[in-house]
Amino acid sequence: MAISQNISQATDTNFETEVLGSSTPVLVDFWAEWCGPCHRVAPVLEEVARARANRLRLGKMNVDENPATPGRFGITSIPTMLLFKDGKLVDGIVGAVPRAEIEALIDRWT
């Protein structure tokens, strides 16, 4: 389900198609409702994704509602942001990091 043009809800069910099958790099934000740092970083991620709409998609995955995918990628802390390009995990960041760090990660791969 799309939240906006390049921001969507990633789920255990649609992960293969929406993330691994995407021709555009996808930054997946693994988060939960109860996670304060997740709520602090979410608007930053959304702004960065909108600013790079021509070369990046943002997928938001609630780890409580979708436990299989976070387990598959060894997610043990949230927020965790993983960048997928051409169907492969290429990079990631753990924690509510500054915007500049998120932008540097994206710019390395897009």
Tell me the CATH number at 25: 3.40.30.10
Q: CA separation (Å) from 70 to 10, 37, 39, 76, 98?
A: 11, 17, 18, 8, 23
The residue segments making up the domain with residue 93 are 2-109
Q: Give the pLDDT band (50/70/90) at residue 1.
A: very low
Q: Give the pLDDT band (50/70/90) at residue 3.
A: low
Q: What is the mean pLDDT of residues 59-77?
A: 97
Contact criterion met (CB below 8 Å) for 83 and 26: yes
pTM value? 0.94
The count of structural domains within the chain is 1
DSSP 51: H
Q: What is the mean pLDDT of residues 6-19?
A: 94
Task: Tell me the pLDDT tens digit for each residue of 30-65.
Answer: 999 999 999 999 999 999 999 998 999 999 999 999
Q: Which residues are catalytic?
A: 35, 38
